[in-house]
Amino acid sequence: MASDMLFAGVDTAANTVTATLYLLAKNPEKQEKLREEIMSDAEKKPYLRACIKESLRLMPVVSGNARRTTKEYNIMGYKVPIGVDVILAHREMSIMEKYYPKANEYIPERWLTNKDDPLHYGNAHPFAYGPFGFGARSCIGRRIAELEMDTFVTRLIENFHVEWFGPPPTVVQEALNYIKGPYNFVFKDIK
């Protein structure tokens, strides 16, 4: 099971890192802010987590979560019978202005602001963001994936200035979304 958890998330973590690097390359002021945090002596790295969360919001590997009803529900006057597949399309919700002001902009700060700020992620519907799923059937490898992504992004940003040239990447939407090459990154050594 340990190897399943480690290797099952390789593609998803790699795609999230690619998305994060692309968004940081297109937002150099965010990249510099992240680099300052990484180079600091601070033990915790909240801006790193915020950058990855914001990347998962804008370019999630999984567009939604599906569940099959095990009993009949009545939701806001709608009857949902037993055995129906219900799909929560958090990818679509995560780019709605109703839930995330400036929804198409890369704003990692929304994950760090206080509740009074209109950008604060907590003002969105609780199911608008769910890249790892919810509840008992959420991603079992979440912590490992987060550690992999944190480590990879940290090592790259502390050593390289990342740039992107050319058109935006193509995101192929299938069971798992992925960024299709070519990967037009330029890594410039900063040391």
- CATH code linked to domain 2-189: 1.10.630.10
Q: Do residues 134 and 87 touch, judged by C-beta distance below 8 A?
A: no
Lowest mean pLDDT among 74-83, 85-94, 119-128: 119-128
For 47-71, the pLDDT digits (tens) are 999 999 999 999 998 888 888 999 9
111-119 mean pLDDT? 87
Residue 86 in this model has a pLDDT that exceeds 90: no
Q: Where are the domains of the chain?
A: 2-189
Collapsing DSSP states into helix, strand and coil, what is residue 175? coil
Indicate the annotated binding residues.
Answer: 139
Residue with structure tokens 């998305």? 19
Collapsing DSSP states into helix, strand and coil, what is residue 10? helix
What pTM was estimated for this model as a whole? Answer: 0.88
Amino acid of residue 103? A
Q: Do residues 53 and 162 touch, judged by C-beta distance below 8 A?
A: no
* Cα 145 to the center of its chain, rounded Å: 11
For 5-61, the pLDDT digits (tens) are 555 566 788 899 999 999 999 999 999 999 999 999 889 999 999 999 999 999 998
Indicate the annotated binding residues for heme.
Answer: 139
